[in-house]
Amino acid sequence: MKKNGAEIVIETLIEHGVTDVFGYPGGAVLHLYDALYQNSERINHYITCHEQGAAHAADGYARATGKTGVVIATSGPGATNIVTGIATAYLDSVPMVAITGNVSIDLIGKDSFQEVDIVGVTLPITKHNYIVKNIGELEDIICEAFQIAASGRPGPVLVDIPKNIQTEMYEFRGGKPRPSLEQKSTADDDRLMEAAKIIDSAKRPYIYCGGGVVISGGEQELVEFAEKIDAVIGCSMMGLSAVSFDNPRALGMTGMHGMYASSKLKSEADVIIGIGVRFSDRATGDKTAYQKDTKIIHIDIDDAEIDKNISVDCSILGDIKSIVSKLTTMVKQVKHEKWIDKAAEYKIFAEKKFAEEGFTAQNIIKTVRKYTQPDTVVATDVG
């Protein structure tokens, strides 16, 4: 069945299970909005007061649901207004497809009204991006955008669609989702045995977990691994929900803005196992001191993160859930009672040292917490 480009976009979104999109209309996406309106019983559109809000809404939606978020913006200023939301999704590994309109192909490159090279602008902050110059490629590009956004380490993909592509007619072939792209892996037995040997030699093991644990669904595997090697667990901000804070091993966020016990024990560990985390400067501080007398293992799905910030003694590339599960079967069951006792001591010390009465930030958060449920979604600001 022949449809115009805008209808092909919306039908393909629906085929990918998209039920909610966020955006703000404008001249270069009016045909997309016509198609959205015609399909309003099958797909919801949430209009925001500003395109940046739409991008952040799509990002938050993806974090809360696990689905790929979708944001729509018009050309020029509409497209540039979603850049911050795209960058946020890129840095936090959140699956997102950003759809922007653009001027007709014959006007591109001529400084036309509300024309901006949004593909060039977003190259550094997307996993991939496209400008559609042939209506015959539109459906495949949308399918590929969803495939890339959700495969491996998730992230944002931008699709820029000129106005004339939205109005041209073409055969709609079905827009079916594609399987996830295979990721490079080094999780062979030799590499796992190397990591297990380092872990078995540890007296003060520290697991540093990040958002990759949550993305892979490896929370339970992480806890079982920590119990077997008798390790404490610190995390990045993205890894905060990887382990319940009620777990006695959980020390909370580490680094410059982290918890005292978490940062203190990390500095005293003889083996640090980074799992789905990128060793950012806020977590490491002085890298020379960070690596001194400490063995470091790094498990991640993205090979670009290995040895990027910290040189490691052993790295394993691949799916975190399966790697941690297999590694658990290979390490020895041990007890490090002095190390676990020290963690408890540091926690008690911090609670007493930093306890303040009155209207303090800590007490505000504690009070708010009393009125929340365990599954309450908390949005954080990074400055």
Contact 21, 13 (CB under 8 A): yes
Contact 26, 74 (CB under 8 A): yes
Instruction: Provide the whole-model pTM.
Output: 0.91
Contact 235, 208 (CB under 8 A): yes
CATH number for region 2-171: 3.40.50.970
pLDDT the model gives residue 97: 98
How far apart (Å, rounded) are the C-alpha atoms in residues 281 and 296? 16
For the chain, the structural domain boundaries read 2-171, 189-370
How far apart (Å, rounded) are the C-alpha atoms in residues 342 and 57? 42
How far apart (Å, rounded) are the C-alpha atoms in residues 324 and 331? 11
What are the tokens at 78? 């509409």
Identify the CATH assignment for 189-370 out of 3.40.640.10, 3.20.20.410, 2.40.10.220, 3.40.50.1220: 3.40.50.1220
Contact 216, 183 (CB under 8 A): no
Residue 163 burial class via C-beta count within 10 angstroms: exposed 0-12, middle 13-18, buried 19 and up: buried
pLDDT the model gives residue 108: 87
pLDDT the model gives residue 383: 57
pLDDT digits (tens, 9 = 90+) for 143-172: 999 999 999 999 999 999 999 999 999 999
Contact 99, 9 (CB under 8 A): yes
Choose among 158, 135, 160, 169: nearest CA to 68. Answer: 158
Element (DSSP H or E) covering residue 326: helix 320-330
Q: Do domains 2-171 and 189-370 have the same CATH topology?
A: yes
pLDDT the model gives residue 75: 96
Low-confidence ranges of the chain (pLDDT < 50): none
The three-state DSSP-derived secondary structure of 211-272 is: HHHHHHCCHHHHHHHHHHHCCEEEECCCCHHHCCCCCCCEEEECCCCCCHHHHHHHHHCCEE
DSSP 8-state code for residue 288: H
Going across the sheet that includes 314-317, the strands are 250-253, 232-235, 205-209, 271-275, 295-300, 314-317
pLDDT digits (tens, 9 = 90+) for 163-217: 999 999 999 999 999 999 988 899 999 999 999 999 999 999 999 999 999 999 9
